[in-house]
Structure 1
Amino acid sequence: MSDVIAATGATPAERPRLRSSAGRRIVAATVLGSAVVSFDATVVNIAAPHIGSGLGADVVDLQWVVSGYTLALASLILVGGALGDRFGRRAVFICGSVGFALASAWCGAASDVGMLVAARVVQGVAGALITPGSLALISASIDPRDQGAAIGMWSGLGGVAGAIGPIAGGWLVELAGWRSVFLINVPLAVAVAVISVRCVPESRDPHAPPRLDALGTAAIVTGLGMLTYGLIAARVWMELVGVALLAVFVLVQIRSRHPLVPPALFSSRVFTTVNLVTFPVYAALGCVLFLLLLQLQIVAGYSPLAAGTATMPITAIMLVSSTWVGQWAQRHGARVPMTIGLLLAAAGSVLLAQIDTHASYSTAVLPGVVLFGAGMAVFVAPLTESVFAAVPTEEAGIASGVNNAIARIAQLLAIAAIPSLVGISRAPLTDAIAFGAGYRAAMWICIGLFGTGAVLAAALMPQPRHIGGKASWPRSRGASAFRLSQ
């Protein structure tokens, strides 16, 4: 069946249902691909203290180990979506999977921090080819009646992969050392490529532009690089240059005939609101996950495995609830679950901020982790469903790329800025007192960011109309309409 779809392009009525074997294989490949990228983003957090001791790194070096990956992923994810729309989402998805396997092997062989950061940048480039394609392939290949459930599975299982990263990472670090957290990606990424070749139908945007936006790509890559370096190194002039280049990127997108981010996408109030909410929420999420695992090991004295296992409730909650939350949001709208989810995440973060020396898991860690996991489970699937509800199906790759890019940029800037802002970037990893004080200050910043996201969702997310028993919003004019208007 996949050969027919790839060759001719399936109409919505010809696409497989989620419960069919073809539908399950498509979702399995896309979820596993996204999961590998999410897994690698979180597993490094649990291994960070051991990377630091093994390579003689401080907190700044660890910021670069995390941020080098996120920088490449965030700045190129739009290019990855555009390449998939033009040359075929499956083809680009497979190339990214192979590249990710090779880069992971390089990470595992790194002999110093500089080599590890370089390998992480290459990993991020490969991840930028995987991430937008994973959601776009679901949107283009699965029967529309099942897309809410499929997206819920993608967000839930992908979230599980991200959450299970610390657990698996802790076990791997204790069993085989920090290098193993990178080497484990190699067989997983190869499996994604093999399944995709055999089971995933090809799809592309018939209205994709004939060439890529090279000037826009250069502006966003250079701008984010300068801004990130400036935030980590506390170089104000670099921060200003980075902001100026990002402003240039926006101007290029407005004036370009073939923009990476078509301005017409933001003619949808839903799409605009979803991305406004995404920025503060994912900034907070990235910083919480980065610092929590360090706090548990450096201050609370947990082993890597114990610290990773401490986050297990997030995994369980997202696994159980994300699919039905996605279905509920498809029928009733996303404003209520997005708002409630972010308030729960903020409440969980308040509890997590109290973790201190020799913190008891049952009283100091578990309640916060449960609330935080419940909040993210309620929030993520409705957010993702809203992205696709707001744009035409053929613009799925662009929409997915924009939202993912904003999420990754938010995490990149938060991890670069917040540790420096609270004074822990230059603290040695052995100074539990200094790190603990900075951690608490950072968590309260994150609580404010979650609250900001909740206010934006409640105030700006429109109530949908209902057609055929499910929520529906007016869609944007889309990229193809924008191009025709030029």
Structure 2
Amino acid sequence: MSNALHVSCDAATARTAQGTRSPAYPRLVIATTILASSLAFIDGSVVNVGLPAIGRSFHADAIGLQWVVNAYLLPLSALLLLGGAAGDRYGRRRLLITGVLLFGIASLACAVAPTLILLLFARFVQGASAAMLMPNSLAILGQSFSGEAKGRAIGIWAATGAAAGAIGPVLGGWLIDAGSWRFAFLINVPLSVAAIVLADYVDRDVDDTAGSLDWLGGALVTAALGLATWALTEGSSRAWSPSTFVVLGTGLIFLLLFLSAERRLGDRAMMPLSLFGSPSFVGLTLLTLLLYGALGGLFVLVPYVLIQAGGYTATQAGAALLPLPLVIAVASPAAGALAAKVGPRWLLITGPVIVAAGFLLAVRIGSDRSYWLGVFPAMVVIALGMAGAVAPLTTAVLMSVDSHHTGAASGLNSAVARTGGLVATALIGPVIASSGPALLSAFGVAAAMGAVICSVAAASAATLIAPARKPS
């Protein structure tokens, strides 16, 4: 669900601000990018609703269910920047088609997977494919339109993505209730076919003058995140054994090697370290990691708890989350306009505080409370807080660095949002492993911890993000 809340990869439009041209079929270009990105938006929200059914089908334990989510988030987090750079180098249309094709094949593989291991492998391919199609779908809009037309196109893209993220859990839940969790993955197959057909109307582009890709950085950060995620998942769900600490330490070594490699590459790196010379950018990165981490963990747990402890059907659990995208869609434009007048800093402080209040309300979710007294108030308050943070966050990221680094900064911020969800999902094993009253108790503790994390995110914004400069 949280995927739909983050307008991903403004790096794309930043990189293609120059040299835009009018497409021959503008509506078909918009339709192509919407269909392609909707694959990732829908999949990221459908799977959360299907976790209980997947667990029953494969007799999976908590660790297995955590990896159903993280096998997708891991390559998406690690390779998102590399996917955007590959589009610059080899052609955004080509990368979009390749990503959509692989995503469709992987979705079909998920639907027919006979074992949990094969399902996890297919989910990993889905995540790697999403890292190709997501940045390049928006980059295509950036290169195809200019001026007001670009703004309208991106607005349509973002609104439709939010709608897809909202409809996904309900549609997926209905398919699960009507037949099987496997049907939920099949949603992606016709969408993939349609996107590939429509991609023929997107202008071809290849920039052979672009620099070489940071393959070493991509490999090192994937290894680092993979090892750290495994260690956190194993440690939180079972026990912190010596081998778990060894794996975690090895992951940290790979992270240090990644930072060393990025330092040597300078501005040619997938994550230029010069970005972190800005305290505001450091604060925004920390805020993104914490806020989206807390949100990502919650929205894996809420459908799971509603189904397992609240007696909800999968359809009802998906519908229970609808207030979040709907309120954000209505309130975000006003928050964006306010941020333009007063600057984003105060909204980035108050937004996470309001989200923290929503997390505290979520502690009350239980089997003995109705939806309107338990789930609904928490979803609305969290949505209001996120509406105050989503648009100002994008603005603040672009303001925190010089024009040469806007693409890298915004793309990195998007990747950090996914990484937050990855880490949070690795740590929720004790909740998923619980049942009955213990499940509700463990969920309450997790929601309270989420409130603390959101409060720390607000503190990082207050401490590190520079106040807006008054016009002279």
What's the TM-score, normalizing by structure 1? 0.84
Whether the aligned pair in 2 keeps the contact of 1:30 and 1:134 (CA below 8 Å) is yes
Question: Where does residue 212 of structure 1 map in the other structure?
Answer: 213
Partner amino acid for 1:380?
Answer: V
Q: Give matches, 1:162-311, under 5 Å.
A: 162-199=165-202, 201=203, 208-209=210-211, 211-234=212-235, 235-256=244-265, 258-311=268-321
Question: Residue 295 of structure 1: CA displacement?
Answer: 1.0
Question: Where does residue 110 of structure 2 map in the other structure?
Answer: 107
Between the aligned partners of 2:298 and 2:35, the Cα distance in structure 1 is 24
CA-based RMSD of the aligned residues comes to 2.9
Q: Does 1:424 align with 2:424?
A: no
Partner amino acid for 2:126?
Answer: Q
Partner amino acid for 1:275?
Answer: T
Between the aligned partners of 1:393 and 1:27, the Cα distance in structure 2 is 26
Question: Where does residue 443 of structure 1 map in the other structure?
Answer: 447
Residues 346 and 160 of structure 1: is their aligned pair in 2 closer, same or farther, counting only changes over 3 Å?
Answer: farther
Between the aligned partners of 1:336 and 1:149, the Cα distance in structure 2 is 27
Between the aligned partners of 2:388 and 2:37, the Cα distance in structure 1 is 19
Whether the aligned pair in 2 keeps the contact of 1:160 and 1:318 (CA below 8 Å) is no
Between the aligned partners of 2:402 and 2:96, the Cα distance in structure 1 is 21
Instruction: Describe the superposition over 1:52-77 as per-residue Cα deviations: whole angstroms up to 9, x where unpaired.
Output: 11121122111011111111111111
Between the aligned partners of 1:346 and 1:197, the Cα distance in structure 2 is 46
Partner amino acid for 2:125?
Answer: V
Report percent identity of matched pairs: 36
Q: Give matches, 1:36-435, under 5 Å.
A: 36-144=39-147, 153-199=156-202, 201=203, 208-209=210-211, 211-234=212-235, 235-256=244-265, 258-330=268-340, 332-390=342-400, 398-417=408-427, 419-420=428-429, 423-427=430-434, 431-435=435-439
Between the aligned partners of 2:27 and 2:335, the Cα distance in structure 1 is 19
Instruction: Describe the superposition over 1:84-133 as per-residue Cα deviations: whole angstroms up to 9, x where unpaired.
Output: 12222232122111111111010001011111001000101101101222
SS at match of 2:374: helix
Across the two proteins, how many residue pairs are aligned to each other?
A: 448
Partner amino acid for 2:361?
Answer: L
In structure 1, runs of 5+ residues without a counterpart are 1-8, 468-486
Residues 266 and 377 of structure 1: is their aligned pair in 2 closer, same or farther, counting only changes over 3 Å?
Answer: same
Partner amino acid for 1:236?
Answer: F
Partner amino acid for 1:216?
Answer: G
Residues 140 and 390 of structure 1: is their aligned pair in 2 closer, same or farther, counting only changes over 3 Å?
Answer: farther
Residues 339 and 30 of structure 1: is their aligned pair in 2 closer, same or farther, counting only changes over 3 Å?
Answer: farther
Question: Residue 163 of structure 1: CA displacement?
Answer: 3.2
SS at match of 2:176: helix
Partner amino acid for 1:112?
Answer: T
Residues 410 and 284 of structure 1: is their aligned pair in 2 closer, same or farther, counting only changes over 3 Å?
Answer: same
Whether the aligned pair in 1 keeps the contact of 2:363 and 2:444 (CA below 8 Å) is yes
Instruction: Describe the superposition over 1:331-381 as per-residue Cα deviations: whole angstroms up to 9, x where unpaired.
Output: 553223333322222211111121112320111111111111222223222
Instruction: Describe the superposition over 1:222-269 as per-residue Cα deviations: whole angstroms up to 9, x where unpaired.
Output: 111111111111212211111221122112111125322122334455
Instruction: Describe the superposition over 1:363-420 as per-residue Cα deviations: whole angstroms up to 9, x where unpaired.
Output: 1111111111222223222222333455677766533431222111111111002x24
SS at match of 1:256: helix
Partner amino acid for 1:241?
Answer: T
In structure 2, runs of 5+ residues without a counterpart are 1-14, 236-243
Whether the aligned pair in 1 keeps the contact of 2:93 and 2:205 (CA below 8 Å) is yes
Partner amino acid for 1:282?
Answer: Y
Between the aligned partners of 2:468 and 2:205, the Cα distance in structure 1 is 29
Residues 323 and 27 of structure 1: is their aligned pair in 2 closer, same or farther, counting only changes over 3 Å?
Answer: farther
Residues 385 and 10 of structure 1: is their aligned pair in 2 closer, same or farther, counting only changes over 3 Å?
Answer: closer
Question: Residue 45 of structure 1: CA displacement?
Answer: 0.7
Partner amino acid for 1:208?
Answer: A
Whether the aligned pair in 1 keeps the contact of 2:42 and 2:164 (CA below 8 Å) is yes
